[in-house]
Amino acid sequence: MAHRLAEVVPVALPVALRPAPTDGNVVTFTKPFISTEELAAVLQVDPSTVRRWRTAQPLQGPPFINLSERVTVYSAEDIQHWLATRRVVPGAAK
């Protein structure tokens, strides 16, 4: 029997996040995939911003997975990598 997305990836907010024990600047996720709305909540932007990133040319935002025409999810690992590549350390960015 095929699972519906809502059964595999819960979309209820708030996003299940917890600070990493070693670095308060790291975001860790308690599930492998999150929805557009959950990603928007993590980044503190409107969900329409995340959707716009997916359709911009060139593409912006973290890598995404289109499960169907109407369902897009984001890998927690991809989000962490994407955030890490955008980290700026004041004084070191010269």
Instruction: Tell which residue, 33, 46, 16, 43, has the closest CA to residue 72.
Output: 33
Within-domain flag for 46: yes
Within-domain flag for 68: yes
pLDDT at 85 over 50: yes
Task: Name the one residue in this structure whose structure tokens are 């557009």.
Answer: 36
Within-domain flag for 74: yes
Q: Give the domain range for residue 73.
A: 33-87
Instruction: Tell which residue, 84, 91, 82, 41, has the closest CA to residue 63.
Output: 82
* Pairwise pLDDT comparison (7 vs 58), residue with the higher score: 58
Burial label, 68 (beta-carbon count in 10 A; 0-12, 13-18, 19+): exposed
Q: pLDDT tens across 27-68, in order?
A: 777 889 999 999 999 999 999 999 999 999 999 999 999 999
Distance of alpha carbon 94 from alpha carbon 88, whole angstroms:
10
Indicate the number of domains in the chain.
1
Within-domain flag for 24: no
